[in-house]
Amino acid sequence: MKISEIKDLLGASVLCGDDHLSKDILSACGSDMMSDVLAYVKNQAVLLTGLVNPQVIRTAVMMDMICIVFVRSKQPSEEMVEFANEHGLAILTTPMRMYEACGKLYSAGLKGNGEVNG
């Protein structure tokens, strides 16, 4: 699934990474606990979260994720967006709650950890 498809499915706005919208996303992770994200260990993934702090960006970079979607219309700081942009991440924000956003992506065929390619 392309980041542009995620944007459309979630009615999301792009905060940075317009030039990354054609990148493929292979799986998704939804969590507000960065320790769970660290256990996820998938690249080319999208992280859905309602947590808005710099650690979210650092964790996504460390895990080679390529997109973060902030749910519930959460807005990261300018510094967070700048840091994400410097590291090639696409940042989106959606008014949807995490449950609904994850459900829409799953229903559209984007799988979670352990379900990629199967």
Instruction: Please name each of the domains of the chain with its CATH number.
Output: 3-107 (3.40.1390.20)
Please tell me the predicted confidence (pLDDT) of residue 101. Answer: 98
Please tell me the predicted confidence (pLDDT) of residue 83. Answer: 96
Please tell me the predicted confidence (pLDDT) of residue 114. Answer: 56
* pLDDT surpasses 80 at 44: no
Q: 54-64: per-residue pLDDT in tens?
A: 999 999 999 99
How many angstroms separate the CA atoms of 23 and 66, rounded? 8
CA 58 to chain centroid, in Å, comes to 13
Q: 11-42: per-residue pLDDT in tens?
A: 999 999 999 999 999 999 999 999 888 887 66
58: left (phi over 0), alpha (psi -120 to 50) or beta: alpha
Helices (H) and strands (E) in the chain, counts: 5, 5
**Amino acid type, 39:** A
pLDDT band at residue 117 under the 50/70/90 scheme = very low
CA 82 to chain centroid, in Å, comes to 16
Q: 47-102: per-residue pLDDT in tens?
A: 999 999 999 999 999 999 999 999 999 999 999 999 999 999 999 999 999 999 99
* pLDDT surpasses 70 at 113: no
Please tell me the predicted confidence (pLDDT) of residue 118. Answer: 41
φ, ψ for residue 56, nearest 5 deg: -60, -45
How many angstroms separate the CA atoms of 22 and 52, rounded? 25
